[in-house]
Amino acid sequence: MTAPVGIMAALPQEVGDFASRIQSPTVTKIARRHYTQGVFGTPGGADATPVVVCVARVGKVAAASTATTLIQKFGVKTILFVGLAGGVDTAQAVRVGDIVIASHVAQHDLNASPIFPKHEIPLLGITEIPTDADWSAKLTQAAQDGIAGSTAQVHTGLILSGDQFINSASAQQALQTQWPTALAVEMEGAAVGQVCYEHGIPFAIARTISDRADDQANHDFPTFLETVAAPRANALLRALFP
Ligand code: ADE
């Protein structure tokens, strides 16, 4: 039996109707989360892709816990994370509605200095964790297919994670100063990245930009979440799993 692909999002809207499209689903409740397991394509057929989807809830601990369960209990062969993010690139080329595919992830709120260098993951000796090239290429293609006909663009680059919703020009500026190559900020990706790195499991992340992590973000994010997040997730995941 082929190992399943794990699909994660932080909030239900961010994974759209994916769980309800899974064939022969079984739902397992572990640690207050529902893991829906099944296949895309014809069950038992050559085109069948086994998947497990879970809404992790928000933040790095929730994401790390869910990723660990996907790996250890469900034996996933990869983890794909989909959802929203705030744009933080200094060039402001990353606009609301665009999609960012992570090339690397880092925890912007991790700071064990002076014991370890600022932002470095203690005892792993790395700061930025690379995503899987093949799965990122698949997500890029699915993102491009999903936004075809719109003015949105797909970008690839560094995504930052931290246990904070970034919602002020000064906080956005501080991230830009410390991470000049970062394109987007969210609250889970680098936690999934660390768990996958430690287990030797490939992972990839696609984030639609819902806000610019500035003073408007408190308004832009919930509006985007209610109106655009689910259709976007559906377009991306339908392109990935037709
Ligand atoms: N996810 C979407 N927008 C975000 C922001 N501004 N900060 C953190 N996570 C986000």
Can you list the domains of the chain with their CATH numbers?
5-240 (3.40.50.1580)
Classify 40 as helix, strand or coil: strand
Q: How many helices (H) and strands (E) does the chain have?
A: 7, 10
- Total residues belonging to the chain: 242
In degrees and rounded to multiples of 5, residue 71 shows phi and psi of -75, -50
User: Does the C-beta of 211 come closer than 6 Å to ligand 1?
Assistant: yes
Catalytic member of 98, 120, 211, 220 = 211
User: Does the C-beta of 85 come closer than 6 Å to ligand 1?
Assistant: yes
- What is the value of pTM for the model shown? 0.96
Q: Mean pLDDT over residues 122-142, rounded?
A: 97
Q: Mean pLDDT over residues 168-183, rounded?
A: 97
- Measured at the CA of 228, the angle between CA 101 and CA 6, to 5 degrees, comes to 45
The residues, any chain, with a CB within 8 Å of residue 149's CB and separated by 6 or more, are none
Q: What b/e sequence results for 62-82 when a residue is b if at least 16 CB atoms lie within 10 Å of its CB, and e otherwise?
A: bbbbbbbbbbeebebebbbbb
pLDDT tens digits, one per residue of 5-29: 999 999 999 999 999 999 889 999 9
157, β-bridge pairs: 102
Nearest Cα residue to atom 9 of ligand 1:
186
* 14 is an active site residue: yes
pLDDT tens digits, one per residue of 229-238: 999 999 999 9
pLDDT tens digits, one per residue of 55-91: 999 999 999 999 999 999 999 999 999 999 999 999 9
pLDDT tens digits, one per residue of 37-58: 999 887 778 888 999 999 999 9
pLDDT of residue 199 exceeding 80: yes
Classify 99 as helix, strand or coil: strand
